[in-house]
């Protein structure tokens, strides 16, 4: 057996990802794939492992376009501090699993004034630690720095400005652009009396 003789789990995993489970199912191939994914994670190659997972999911489509390898579930959700429900949806967890697209459509089509409150209990979302605006509020843009609409990269960066960014240690949050600006000049959290070194974790 090739893997036993060479200890080359990468080649075995890459080759088997073209065939398993699209053409056949093999426990050994599943083991090689899991070992390869674990190996990439142990080396800190998370982006490479994620690209491998995405590619493997694409390769797993059957002839009738059915995906045979389920995509990894979301692992991070934004939840309300008051009611502990997922801010990105209005349904229960079971309903979310059935209609994730419907929940996302609802979240994206909410009325303009609803962007800064929980869709379940209507309590305000947390505030940005830097600008103190609610984290559902778009970041004010300096018109002299407004991106060129024809430049895709500029548009993507402009969208990134409004994203939420949270420290996993102290749980304080900020707009992504404000966190980036703050930590380019400071080491500690922007919240007064918090000595967390958010950016060094």
What confidence score (pLDDT) does residue 3 get?
86
- Residues 182 and 189: their CA atoms lie apart, in Å, by 9
| Domain positions in the chain | 2-59, 86-123, 126-200
DSSP classification of residue 137: S
pLDDT band at residue 174 under the 50/70/90 scheme? very high
What confidence score (pLDDT) does residue 168 get?
85
- Residues 129 and 86: their CA atoms lie apart, in Å, by 21
Tens digits of residue pLDDT in 127-161? 899 999 888 777 766 555 555 555 666 666 666 77
Q: Are 141 and 162 in contact (CB under 8 A)?
A: no
What confidence score (pLDDT) does residue 55 get?
87
What confidence score (pLDDT) does residue 124 get?
87
pLDDT band at residue 194 under the 50/70/90 scheme? very high
What confidence score (pLDDT) does residue 153 get?
62
- Residues 128 and 134: their CA atoms lie apart, in Å, by 6
Token digits of residue 78: 């934004």
Tens digits of residue pLDDT in 37-68? 999 989 988 889 989 988 888 888 877 878 77
pLDDT band at residue 26 under the 50/70/90 scheme? confident
What confidence score (pLDDT) does residue 195 get?
93
Q: Is the pLDDT of residue 7 over 60?
A: yes
Percent of the chain with pLDDT over 90: 22
- Residues 128 and 80: their CA atoms lie apart, in Å, by 15
Q: Is the pLDDT of residue 172 over 70?
A: yes
Tens digits of residue pLDDT in 61-117? 877 878 778 777 766 677 787 888 888 765 544 444 444 444 444 444 444 556 788
The pair phi, psi for residue 198, each rounded to 5°, is: -50, -45
What confidence score (pLDDT) does residue 130 get?
92
What confidence score (pLDDT) does residue 156 get?
61
The pair phi, psi for residue 30, each rounded to 5°, is: -60, -40
What confidence score (pLDDT) does residue 145 get?
55
Query: Of the candidates 82, 23, 17, which has an alpha carbon nearest to the alpha carbon of residue 52?
Result: 17
- Residues 73 and 122: their CA atoms lie apart, in Å, by 27
What confidence score (pLDDT) does residue 154 get?
65
């Amino acid at each position: 057996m090739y893997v036993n003789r060479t200890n080359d789990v990468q080649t075995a995993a890459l080759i088997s990802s073209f065939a398993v489970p699209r053409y056949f199912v093999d426990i050994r191939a599943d083991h090689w794939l899991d070992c390869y994914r674990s190996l990439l994670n142990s080396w800190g190659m998370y982006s490479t492992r994620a690209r491998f997972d995405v590619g493997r999911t694409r390769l797993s489509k059957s002839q009738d376009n059915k995906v045979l390898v389920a995509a990894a579930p979301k692992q991070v959700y934004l939840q309300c501090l008051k009611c502990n429900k997922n801010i990105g949806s209005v349904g229960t967890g079971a309903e979310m699993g059935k209609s994730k697209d419907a929940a996302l459509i609802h979240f994206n089509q909410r009325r303009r004034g609803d962007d800064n409150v929980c869709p379940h209990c209507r309590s305000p979302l947390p505030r940005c630690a830097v600008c103190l605006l609610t984290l559902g509020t778009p970041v004010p843009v300096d018109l002299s720095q407004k991106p060129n609409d024809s430049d895709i990269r500029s548009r993507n960066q402009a969208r990134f400005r409004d994203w939420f960014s949270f420290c996993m240690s102290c749980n304080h949050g900020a707009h992504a652009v404000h966190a980036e600006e703050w930590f380019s000049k400071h080491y500690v959290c922007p919240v007064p009396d918090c000595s967390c070194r958010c950016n060094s974790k």
